[in-house]
A = this chain, B = another copy of it.
Amino acid sequence: MNDIQHRVGIKSSADNIYQLLTTDSGLTQWWTNDVSGAGEINALIKFRFNGGGPDFTVVELLPNKRVGWQHSGSVPEAWIGTSIVFELVDDGEQIFVNFTHANWTEATDFMAHCNTKWAVFLLSLKDAAETGKGAPFPNDTQIDHS
């Protein structure tokens, strides 16, 4: 069992962050500019990066508290069987977003790459929530030259 876990603290309303995690118009503000299908439980969200990209099925929605996705489809191969949870915790000063990308089968270079990249996108989520301006693909911060 190998999990990726990140934690960022955001000065914004939980409702605003929840919208950024559960709607096409929200998700396009911080992860990739090409998102379709976001919705209620069982919705299949398609995230696209230059045409390809992962699908996730929405498996958990607790308004302003928790969002869960199960990877669906076959790309990237290393993500098959993985799941993602965003947990929102209000400490009075800020909303902490506890992020988990769980159940990787192997700790590979690709997992390390994705770990670094998730930090980039969660800081993009933070910026989108706080300033209205995230940096979704293709305007995302580059972590290498590949």
Contact = CB atoms under 8 A, between A and B. Distances in A.
Interface in A98-137: 98-99, 107, 109, 111-113, 115-116, 119-120, 122-123, 126
B7 A109 contact: yes
Contacts of A145: 9, 11, 93-94
State the oligomeric state as a number of copies: 2
Main secondary structure of the interface of A (DSSP, over half): mixed
A23 interface: no
A83 to B, nearest CB: 16
A27 to B, nearest CB: 20
Interface of A: 3-11, 93-94, 96, 98-99, 107, 109, 111-113, 115-116, 119-120, 122-123, 126, 141, 143-146
